[in-house]
Amino acid sequence: MKSADLGAHGAADEAGVDAGDGASSDLLSALAGNQAGRERTVAYRTRRVVSTSLGVMQEQKAGRKRNRSLALAAILVVGFALGPLIWRVADDLIEGEHISDLAPQVGLLVCILCPSLVAAALVAGWARRKS
């Protein structure tokens, strides 16, 4: 009975070695570095994709910074251009001129019209860029 059990275990061991032989050879080739060429190509491809993505992200960031600085410059230019006019209108109204006089009416109209035109231009540019 012992020889039959031994024979059964021996057959099972041989089947296990045959089934595990492919897995162990893959493990040995991976440990020996035989698949390094395949891993190297994957690593190079991954590196190229990552560096390309980084370049695209840096270009987008630079574009956003440029747009932000242009918008700030436009706001400052409009503020400096309208500043004296706003000061004059406020001074006229404080000094006692009526709002129905010609100079304060024109000044108020310009103070309202110019920023609204600049805002409309900014919104139109933003909408054009989005589409």
Domain boundaries, the chain: 63-130
Where does the pLDDT of residue 61 fall: very low under 50, low under 70, confident under 90, or very high at 90 and above? very high
> What span, in angstroms and rounded, lies between the C-alpha atoms of 80 and 112?
15
> What span, in angstroms and rounded, lies between the C-alpha atoms of 101 and 51?
65
Mean pLDDT of 31-40: 71
Residues 68-117: pLDDT tens digits? Answer: 888 888 888 878 887 887 788 788 778 877 777 787 788 788 878 878 88
**Side chain identity at residue 46, one-letter code:** T
